[in-house]
Structure 1
């Protein structure tokens, strides 16, 4: 049976165990993403990858399906059933790998693309570590970021859809704004670990952090790519 005790109401030992399991699952999710992405890049035909970014309406369909499936994956990850939680996390990792496929394929094609991807990954890890440290050590309540993140999320989706339909480039400053939004999301998700989850929901907590990390990685990579183009 899973415990229903909130992390905030648990003992110090239980809190430490919850945090350890949460971040361990975040690390495993990242490793799983790398493995799945490597397989997809080597197995999926180039023609199919090209279709994902060559046709604007195909890309909009993919984004729409990803958004709906993300909601389902998040719901599964917060289930009281451990197996359902892992199903949600695994499903989300697969979705992220599919969404990242065309971006990483393009990045690999750049001169020194592998180094650029590695730099983006290191910057993402460094920023995630720094933001997590701020959230844990600061006594500030970051719950106010929730509305900012929601509004910013809807605005960004609207701009992405408009850009795809009308064919305009969102540019560097949009990517910078999304890095800020992803950073705010990491602060918010980290600060709410003790207040919004029970000690048995570390899989669901790891999915939320993983999602914010991948958003940050996406736009850091986009910024580095814009400097090469």
Structure 2
């Protein structure tokens, strides 16, 4: 009954009045921008804080990265649950904030490698710019065409499970090198998620779910940024 009442008072964006739909989309992307800004700030602090940075690096070098990965998956699930099922706006924001912190933590080793070890912070700027350009292009495509990519859900879920399995195998068996082609494939997967999540913003979120919608988009952007960093590092090494 409560769900039916929610849908009456807060319809899906596609069914809402034009002004209400526009306000929902503005709120969603404003929260996305806020999450990205908080992520960048936290990441800067974490990378420049030895008490946080060094244990993360030690775990990666010591072959214990799978612990961080499993913890991240668990935290991501909890954060998404809070954001999508939270009865109060406070709980939804807690989910978004928890996920943002988790993303900042898991990015610490790769950003440390580029920023402090390679001494090439411009690679991070390049990866960030490429991510934003790609995200903007995919978003514009969905917005202008109004296409519904919800049919991708099964394929994306299966592809992500396969990718996660490969990553865990590479983590446990250090001799496995996934290579540049895996990075390119993951960029394609992240692009698929951006199409899927953006179309969900238009078709499958209620107008009161801007926090959950922004979390989904942020997850897709972060995934693309992670593999875009790996791509620019790989291309740099081939120069």
Aligned to 1:203: 211
Aligned to 2:80: 74
Corresponding residue of 1:121: 128
Give the Cα separation in 2 of the matches to 1:228 and 1:24: 33
Asked if 2 retains the 8 angstrom alpha-carbon contact of 1:18 and 1:202, the reply is yes
Matches within 5 A, 1:173-192: 173-192=181-200
Contact 1:52 1:102 in 2 (8 A): no
Give me the whole-angstrom Cα distance separating, in 1, the residues matched to 2:155 and 2:214: 21
Higher mean C-alpha deviation, range 42-51 or range 162-171: 42-51
1:51 & 1:212 partners in 2: Cα distance?
A: 27
Match of 1:150, SS state, is: helix
Q: Would you say 1:226 and 2:234 are equivalent positions?
A: yes
Bigger Cα displacement from structure 2, 193-202 vs 100-109: 193-202
**Inter-partner Cα distance in structure 2 for 1:52 and 1:160:** 16
Matched, 1:15 2:21: yes
Q: TM-score, normalised by structure 1?
A: 0.95
Match of 1:95 in 2: 102
Give the Å deviation of 1:194.
Answer: 2.7
Instruction: Check 1:10–1:139 CA distance in 2 against 1; reply closer, same or farther (3 A cut).
Output: closer
Alignment match, 2:153 = 146
- For structure 1, the 5+ residue unaligned runs are none
Compute the displacement of 1:139 (Å). Answer: 4.3
Q: Which runs of 5+ in 2 are unaligned?
A: none
Task: Say what the alpha-carbon RMSD is for the aligned residues.
Answer: 1.6
| Number of residues of Structure 1 aligned to a counterpart in Structure 2 | 228
